[in-house]
């Protein structure tokens, strides 16, 4: 179908483009450099013959792979339009500039990265490595992230487009492709035009471990704790200074350690302080609130406000304000109302020769918001691990099975509608 080198080479070319997004900016996309990859994708899609490929004013790339069903086929005119989606941006947490991917045949054991030998991918922290002994994987050099989240997904979908363009024997209905910006800062669907996209359902290729399918995400809110203090020269500070940084650190220190990302897994919720900024006069703390049960977010907010109430008497002259905003909601309950969308993905994965499993995402995807907006959008793996980290790596075999799964998926939709 497609040579492994084609998929790998495409991936390596994409990770060389810095597409890091940025939080708390008004521009959309949040960084102009994301458009460098988006323009590249439009050009490549047009070269493949997708004449409607375009970059819209908000930075979304859209294109259509036209149906190739003959009129004699029983499924002709019955197959719904299917969407396939990946995002171009990388995390603001770790630099994506000057990525130097290391392509290796994994021999086993720990992997010390050459750009910074203090950065080690430990085998006991990465059980998936055992499944890749003797296989090709790609790591960072230890100085940047890799960008497999989600350029592995981008490479899979672009290789799919090439495969279908060159493979008329693979029968499929209309397929809509979308490549979104700013997913990593929670804004990937901010201006997504569902009507123009025109799909009945969609699938994001934005997961991690091979064989993992996702129909559940966290429900998510974000909180900003702002402390207003009083600044003055330290030599004159007695009984006057109110140190906002000291207050904000006290609040962060009191968040429960048994409800932190590093101490929870599975369906357990967490309260995660992750950014502190400011000085004596003013300081802010950003906190992630995550729970698979949407109603559980209220309990997390109450817990955060209770911590602020505990700290307030220790600093009576400080002003503490908390603002909570909605990020996304668990897509699970809505996806369960669209069983064929899930069943077809499961069948496609089985045909790829693997044993799939539904695994909850301890995070979110563009599919979280798209499902809430009315477009059922589960997720499948890319083969990447350790996202948002200098220890990020990706299994080439994982990318290959993801590609095979989406190729199977478009055919499953045809077959199911032949039987209808």
Query: 133 and 101, same structural domain?
Result: yes
- Distances from the Cα of 351 to the Cα of 146, 226, 354, angstroms: 29, 52, 7
Residues 113 and 54 in one domain: yes
Indicate whether 346 and 385 sit together in one domain: yes
Sorted by sequence, the CB contacts under 8 Å of residue 107 that are 6+ apart come out as 133, 134
The residue out of 309, 327, 345 marking a domain boundary is: 327
The CATH number covering residue 356 comes to 3.40.630.10
Cα–Cα nearest to 5, from 408, 409, 407, 399: 399
Task: Say yes or no: 310 and 366 in one domain.
Answer: no
Give the model confidence (pLDDT) of 142-162 as tens digits.
Answer: 999 999 999 999 999 999 999
Could you tell me if 246 and 131 lie in one domain?
Answer: no
Q: What is the pLDDT of residue 411?
A: 97
To which H or E segment does residue 159 belong? helix 148-166
Give the tens place of pLDDT for each residue, 180-219. Answer: 999 999 999 999 999 999 999 999 999 999 999 999 999 9
Per-residue confidence band for 1, with pLDDT thresholds at 50, 70 and 90? very low
Averaged pLDDT score across all residues of the chain: 96
Percent of the chain with pLDDT over 90: 95
Tell whether 256 and 355 lie within a shared domain.
no
Residue 29 above 60 pLDDT? yes
Q: Which of 18, 128, 174, 183 is catalytic?
A: 183
Q: Which of 327, 342, 360 is the last residue of a domain?
A: 327
**Quick check: 255 pLDDT over 70?**
yes
- Asked if pLDDT for residue 256 goes beyond 90, the answer is yes
Q: pLDDT value at position 5?
A: 53
- For residue 84, pLDDT over 80 is answered with yes
382 shares a domain with 244? no
- For the segment 367-375, the average pLDDT, to the nearest whole number, is 95
pLDDT value of position 3: 42
Percentage of residues in the chain having pLDDT higher than 70 = 99
Listed residue (297, 323, 335, 273) closest to 219, CA to CA = 297
Average pLDDT over residues 243-265: 97
* Beta bridge partner(s), residue 278: 283
What would the two tokens of residue 177 be?
Answer: 């492709």
Please identify, among 327, 350, 372, the residue that sits at the C-terminal boundary of a domain. 327
The answer to whether residues 81 and 202 belong to one domain is yes
> For 12-22, what is the mean pLDDT?
98
* Number of structural domains the chain divides into: 2
Residue-level pLDDT at 167: 82
Q: Do both 263 and 192 map to the same domain? A: no
DSSP for residue 230 = B
Residues 227 and 299 in one domain: yes
The pLDDT of residue 83 is above 70: yes
Dist CA 167 CA 156 (whole Å) = 16
- Which CATH number belongs to the domain containing residue 304 in this structure? 3.30.70.360
Whether 183 sits among the annotated catalytic residues: the reply is yes
Confidence (pLDDT) at 168: 86
- Yes or no: say if 140 and 99 are a contact pair by the CB < 8 Å rule: yes
Q: How far is CA 11 from CA 88, 138, 154, 213, in A?
A: 12, 10, 8, 21
In this structure, are 197 and 231 located in the same domain?
A: no
- What is the pLDDT, as a whole number, of residue 419? 81
The verdict on 212 and 230 lying in the same domain is no
Q: For residue 197, what are its two tokens?
A: 């996209």
- Residue 22: pLDDT band (50, 70, 90) is very high
Phi, psi of 63 (to 5 degrees): -160, 160
Which domain range does residue 53 map to?
4-216+330-419
Neighbours of 379 (CB within 10 A): 30
Which is catalytic among the residues 18, 89, 221, 392? 89
Q: Give the per-residue pLDDT at 326.
A: 93
């Amino acid at each position: 179908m497609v040579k492994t080198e084609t998929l790998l080479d495409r991936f390596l070319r994409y990770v060389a483009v810095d597409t890091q997004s940025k939080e708390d900016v008004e521009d959309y996309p949040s960084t102009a450099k994301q458009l460098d990859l988006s323009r590249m994708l439009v050009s490549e899609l047009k070269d493949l013959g997708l004449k409607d490929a375009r970059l819209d004013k908000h930075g979304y790339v859209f294109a259509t792979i036209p149906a190739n069903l003959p009129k004699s086929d029983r499924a002709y005119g019955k197959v719904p339009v299917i969407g396939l989606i990946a995002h171009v941006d990388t995390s603001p947490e770790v630099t994506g500039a000057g990525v130097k991917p290391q392509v290796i045949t994994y021999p086993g054991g720990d992997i010390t990265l050459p750009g910074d030998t203090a950065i080690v991918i430990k085998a006991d922290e990465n059980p998936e490595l055992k499944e890749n002994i003797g296989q090709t994987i790609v790591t960072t050099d230890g100085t940047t992230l890799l960008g497999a989240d989600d350029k592995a997904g981008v490479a899979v979908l672009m290789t799919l487009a090439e495969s279908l363009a060159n493979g008329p024997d693979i029968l499929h209905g209309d397929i809509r492709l979308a490549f979104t910006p700013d997913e990593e800062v929670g804004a990937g669907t901010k201006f997504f035009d569902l009507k123009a996209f025109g799909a009945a359902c969609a699938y994001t290729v934005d997961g991690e471990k091979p064989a993992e399918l996702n129909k559940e995400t966290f429900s998510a809110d974000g909180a900003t704790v702002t402390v207003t203090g009083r600044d003055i020269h330290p030599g004159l500070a007695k009984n006057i200074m109110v140190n906002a940084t000291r207050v904000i650190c006290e609040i962060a220190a009191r968040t429960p350690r048994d409800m932190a990302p590093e101490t929870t897994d599975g369906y357990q919720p967490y309260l995660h302080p992750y950014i502190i900024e400011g000085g004596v006069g003013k300081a802010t703390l950003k906190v992630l609130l995550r729970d698979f049960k949407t109603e559980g977010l209220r309990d997390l907010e109450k817990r955060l406000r209770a911590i602020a109430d505990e700290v307030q008497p220790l600093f009576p002259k400080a002003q503490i304000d908390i603002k909570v905003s909605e990020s996304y909601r668990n897509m699970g309950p809505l996806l369960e109302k669209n069983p064929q969308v899930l069943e077809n993905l499961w069948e496609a994965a089985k045909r790829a020769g693997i044993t799939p499993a539904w695994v909850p995402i301890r995070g979110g995807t563009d599919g979280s918001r798209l499902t809430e907006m009315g477009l059922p959008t589960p997720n499948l793996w890319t083969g990447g691990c350790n996202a948002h980290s200098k220890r990020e790596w990706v299994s080439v075999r994982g990318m290959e099975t993801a590609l095979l799964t989406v190729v199977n998926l478009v055919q499953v939709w045809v077959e199911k509608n032949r039987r209808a």
